[in-house]
Structure 1
Amino acid sequence: MDRLAISGVVLALVAVIGGYAIEGGGISALFHFPAFIIVIGGSFGAVMLQTPSTYFVQGLKMFGSVWHKKPLDFKYAQHMIAHWADVSRQKGFLALEDGINENDDPFVRKGLGLLVDGVESDVLRTSLELDIELDSDRQYRSARIYDALGGYSPTIGIIGAVLGLIQAMANIDDPSALGHGIATAFVATIYGVGGANLFFIPVAQKLQSQIDNEVLYREMIVEGLLCAANGENPNSIERKLEAYSRVAV
C-alpha cells in the first residue's frame, strides 16, 4: 500500500474543504450530485471517444497500481544476474535452462532463453530493447487517459457552470430554483478544476513514473544479460549494475 499517495489525497481534500469550512462555508454545499454527473460523466465520455478501447480498459486496470504496486527489487535482480553469469561461465549457457523455468517474469525468461539459444549479443539487445519500447509505449498510451481526464474536466466544469446559470436564469422569479442553478454552476467548476489538479493529473504522473521505473529495471536486465553473454566477471557485473539502483524509485 502506497501510504504517501493516500496521504496526499487526504491532505489535498482536507486542505481545500477545511479551508472552505474555516472561512464559514457549509461543507454540505460542496456535495452536489448533478454537478458531479456533469463533470465526471462528461469527462469520461470525451476520453472514451478519443481513446481506443484496448488502451482505455488497460488504463482503468492500471489505476490500482497508484495505491498498491509491488516494488521492483533491483538489488535482488542484480544478484541473480551475477549468479547466472557465474553459472554460464562454469557450466555454459545451457545450464541456465533451470533459471528460465524458475522465473515468473516473461521478459527475464525471454532474455535467458536467448542466452541459452546462443544468439549474438546484437540480436539479444535488439530483441529485448524492442520489447521494452513496445510494452512501455502501450503502458504510456494507457496512462494518458488520466492526463486526458485532467485536460477535459475543467472545460466540462465550465459547461456545467453554464448549464447551471441557464437553469438559474430560466427560473429567476423562483428563489429556490435560482439558488439551485447557481449552486450547480459554481460546484461544477470546483469539481472540474479540483478533479483535474488534485486527482487526474497527479494519477497520470504517478503512473508514468512507475512506467519509467519499470523501463529502467528492464534496461538493467538487458545490460546484465549482455555482460553475461560476453563472459564478464560476475562481481564486476553486479558492481556495474549498482548504478541502476541509485536512480530507481
Structure 2
Amino acid sequence: MKKSDIFTPIGLVLGIIMISFGIISGGGASGFLFFIDIASIVIVIGGTIAGLLTSFPLNAMKSLPKVIKQAFSVDNHDLRTLIQTFVTLSEKARREGLLALEAEIENVEDKFIKKGVLLAIDGIEPDVINDIMNAEIIAMEERHSKGRNILEKGGEIAPSWGMIGTLVGLVLMLQNLDDPASLGPNMAIAILTTLYGSLLANVFFIPMANKLALKTEQEVFYKQVIIEGVIGVQSGQNPKVLEEKLSAFLSDEEQAKAGNDEVLEQEELVTNEA
C-alpha cells in the first residue's frame, strides 16, 4: 500500500524558501527581479531537456512523469505485520498442509508474497524458489535504475548547461565592451545560467534520484524478508522458529517494541483470565 511522502514536497519547498530568504535578505522583495532572466532560463531548461532527449530513448522519457511521481509516495513496508503474516501461514501449513494456503493467500494484497507461496504450494524446491524470486528482484532493480538514471543524468547536465550559458554571456559581454548598456544583460546571462543550472540539479534532480534509490533499497530489503518467509513456510519450519528468524531483520527499536507489545498482550491475557 502506498501513501503520500510529505517530506519530498517539504524538501522542495524548504529549498525554495532558503533561496528566497537569501535573495530577500540581500535586496528585499524587489531583489527577485534581478534573479529572473528569460534567456538564462531557456538556455538551462531547454538545454537540459535537449541533453536528456539525446541521452535516452523516447519510451524512457515518456516514463519520466511516472518516475517523478514515485518520489512523492512511500510504500508502507511494515516488517512486523509481514512477519506475523508468515507466522500465520506457517501455522496453517503445519496443521492442514501447504495446499490449504491457496485459499489463505487470497486475502494477501502483496503479489510477491502470493507468487512465492504459490511456488511453495506447487512443490518447487527452496533453492529454485530462491532463484526465481531473486531474479524478480534483480529485474525490479533494473527497471528502477532506468528511471532513476534519467534524473541522475539531469543532475549532471543541468550544471553543464549553466556553464555553457555562462560562456555565452561572457562572449557576448566581451564583444560589446564598448556598449555599456549591453553589459548588464549579458552579465546576467553569464551569472544566472550557472545559478539556474546548480539549482535545478541540487534542488530537484539529485534529491529526487537519491529518494528513489533509497526506496529501491527498502523494497529490495522487504522482498528479501519475504523470500526467507516463503522458504520457511515451504520447508515446514516451526512457526516460533520462523518468527525468531524473520525478527532478525527488524531494527533494535522494532525488536524492543515487538517485545513490549508481546508483554502487554500476555498481561492482558492474564487479566482477562482472572
1:161 Cα deviation after fit: 1.5
**Matches of 1:177 and 1:31, distance apart in 2:** 17
- Of the three residues 16, 21, 25, the one matched with 1:22 is 25
Letter in 2 for 1:215: V
Alignment of 1:140-151 (within 5 A): 140-151=145-156
Alignment of 1:1-249 (within 5 A): 1-24=4-27, 26-246=31-251
**Does the C-alpha gap of structure 1 residues 40 and 242 become closer, same or farther in structure 2, counting only changes over 3 Å?**
farther
RMSD over aligned Cα atoms:
2.2
1:190 Cα deviation after fit: 0.1
**Does the C-alpha gap of structure 1 residues 36 and 64 become closer, same or farther in structure 2, counting only changes over 3 Å?**
same
- Deviations 1:90-145 (Å, cap 9, x if unpaired)? 11111111234333332222111101111111111010011101111211221121
Letter in 2 for 1:245: L
**Matches of 1:55 and 1:72, distance apart in 2:** 28
Letter in 1 for 2:9: I
**Does the C-alpha gap of structure 1 residues 40 and 247 become closer, same or farther in structure 2, counting only changes over 3 Å?**
farther
1:175 Cα deviation after fit: 4.2
TM-score for both structures, normalised by structure 2:
0.82
**Which residue of structure 1 lines up, in the alignment, with residue 266 of structure 2?**
none
Does the 8 Å CA contact 1:157/1:192 hold for their aligned counterparts? yes
Letter in 2 for 1:96: L
Equivalent position SS for 2:245: helix
**Matches of 2:229 and 2:146, distance apart in 1:** 28
**Matches of 2:232 and 2:58, distance apart in 1:** 40
Equivalent position SS for 2:74: coil
Does the 8 Å CA contact 2:8/2:72 hold for their aligned counterparts? yes
Equivalent position SS for 2:248: helix
Structure 1 residues without counterparts, runs of 5 or longer: none
Structure 2 residues without counterparts, runs of 5 or longer: 254-274
1:247 Cα deviation after fit: 8.6
**Matches of 1:38 and 1:247, distance apart in 2:** 50
Does the 8 Å CA contact 1:82/1:237 hold for their aligned counterparts? yes
Question: Number of residue pairs matched?
Answer: 248
**Matches of 1:47 and 1:138, distance apart in 2:** 18
1:209 Cα deviation after fit: 0.2
Letter in 2 for 1:228: V
1:53 Cα deviation after fit: 3.7
Equivalent position SS for 1:69: strand
**Does the C-alpha gap of structure 1 residues 120 and 155 become closer, same or farther in structure 2, counting only changes over 3 Å?**
same
Letter in 1 for 2:232: C
Percent identity over paired residues: 31
Does the 8 Å CA contact 1:55/1:138 hold for their aligned counterparts? no
1:73 Cα deviation after fit: 2.2
1:217 Cα deviation after fit: 0.6
**Does the C-alpha gap of structure 1 residues 53 and 224 become closer, same or farther in structure 2, counting only changes over 3 Å?**
farther
